Amino acid sequence: MNTEIPGIILMFVAALALAIPLGKYIAKVYTQDKTWLDGIFGPVEKLFYRISGIDPTTEMNWKQHLVVMLTLNMVWFLLGMFVLMNQHWLPLNPDGNPGQSAHLAFNTSISFVVNCNLQHYSGESGVSYLSQLFLMFLQFVSAGIGMAAAAVLFTALKERTTDKLGNFYNFFLKSCTRILLPISLVVAVILVFNGTPMTLHGKDTIISLQGDTVQVSTGPAAAFVAIKHVGTNGGGFFGANAAHPFENPNYLTNITEMIAQLIIPFAIIFALGFFLKRRKFAWITFGVMTIGFLALVIPNIFMEANGNPAIAAMGIDMSSGAMEGKEVRFGAITSAFWSIVTTVISTGSVNSFHDSFMPLSGMNQLLAMMINCFYGGCGVGILNYFIFVILAVFISGLMVGRTPEFMGKKIEAREMKIAMIIALLHPFLILVGTALSTALPAYTSATLNNPGFHGFSEMLYEFTSSAANNGSGFEGLADNTPWWNISTGFVLILSRFLPIIGPIAIAGLLANKKYIPEGGGTLKTDTSTFGLMVLAVILLVAALAFFPALTLGPIAEYFSML
């Protein structure tokens, strides 16, 4: 256990050290500067544009960007529904898995399209290899969509007045080819050499240590697992996700997968600084997010390392920590760290059973998704944080009696209304969905694995994970029912696209305004004071909105345990 914490620290530092040069590279990709991968992917991109008839040099305004984004996602959703419902007769189905029901295919297709990967099925029996490969494609493009949206925001914040904000197809394709694909390839190679399968063969027959003959699922897992982490998707190729020995064979792959899910969310922050030539603002942003992250991860490590006091009272040794639902090869501390990394970043992959964590550890996992702007997913994390920056700028301006300005542009009523709607949408979707599930026991009571406080937490976690585009779950919940598939499906749609539309609309409105050079009375947004202001707004608007619900769930469970 004592060696786990130094390993975690080294992993975090390694991710940060890699993210800074990667952020510089991402900024070059979005500013059309030359990069070392131009010679490899330039011809591929030109061929794509020639076949599709798309002109990547055509500049778009913010509305045109959103039309392209929504159209692409609609096409992918419909294709996903078709593949999932008809996989029983389509090729690459060596294990003969049946087609999904309409409501399950609706949920699965939407979930992967919106970068959530909420899985109401088990990978071994729920999908064919063709479906797995199509879902892997969705993991690439959903991450690319989020990064392209961030690139539009970066372009809008430049020191100029314009309605031309680059080309969405260009941002999107380069995000996939120049950033996501190379990193995923490196991660996949590491996984393959450590035992993760990469094959199109069906189940293997093996003799277990007990002497039983069992069928073990294989498949093209290495490629799938790589992009699920690099793209902050999180969907498991196997039902046990990253706790499965094929998805995550050893401690080296565990560290690799944690770095993989951290690196792009970190790098996007620094890419903003390099793109706008405001590196200090990027470091302040990273500092605010890291304070929030540490405030969640340190208590979780402490609680899981100390074990369950109720079990300790029975005279059982808790020196290994709270190991229920955790892999012995990873341990309690590393599992606790992963649980916050995956919920803060909105990856949603799990290397342990979140439903078995201590009550307040589960609360911190929920809070990480409820706040939903400490690092966040590929591209969308910085969009969520941008909303709270706008709110903080406006409040700070009122406090000092000045017209609020951000990056040389005035923040006025329209921008504030959009920001406030988006900030309140997240708790609205989570709390309304949970309230309806509680009020309709005919649809939900039979799906709960636990009564009382923890049962409420299972429902709260399901809608929180859906609204945060996370995908993890308190998997005591039997969620493959029409109620859970359809209700969370609509939450997935609204919570993905509205929080992208809102920041892009604000960015487009700001880009059209006259640029005002900074003066002596300008509110400085690259100071620690402003960083603390943003953190305070996040806690007031996001965290406190959920306190009553958390009181009914994990907090009440904690006191009942005592």
State the average pLDDT for the chain: 93
Residues 6+ apart with CB under 8 A from 287: 528, 531
Residues 6+ apart with CB under 8 A from 72: 141, 145, 172
- Lowest average pLDDT, out of 19-28, 124-133, 336-345, 388-397, goes to 388-397
- Rounded mean pLDDT of 177-181? 97
For 460-487, the pLDDT digits (tens) are 999 999 999 999 999 888 899 999 999 9
Indicate the pLDDT class of residue 2, thresholds 50, 70 and 90: low
Q: State mean pLDDT over 51-70.
A: 95
Mean pLDDT of 285-306: 96
Segment 513-555, tens digit of pLDDT: 988 887 766 778 889 999 999 999 999 887 789 999 999 999 9
Whole-prediction pTM value?
A: 0.95
pLDDT tens column, 185-195: 999 999 999 99
What percent of the chain has pLDDT above 90? 80
Report whether 130 contacts 217 (CB < 8 A).
no
C-alpha distances in angstroms, 418 versus 383, 422, 454, 504, 506? 13, 6, 35, 10, 7
Q: If pLDDT is split at 50, 70 and 90, which confidence band does 362 have? A: very high
What is the CA angle 373-460-532, rounded to 5? 25
For residue 409, give the H/E element and its range: strand 409-410
Pairwise pLDDT comparison (251 vs 397), residue with the higher score: 251
Domains of the chain, by residue range, sit at 4-561
Chain-centroid distance of CA 434 in Å reads 21
Q: When comparing pLDDT for 319 and 28, which is higher?
A: 28
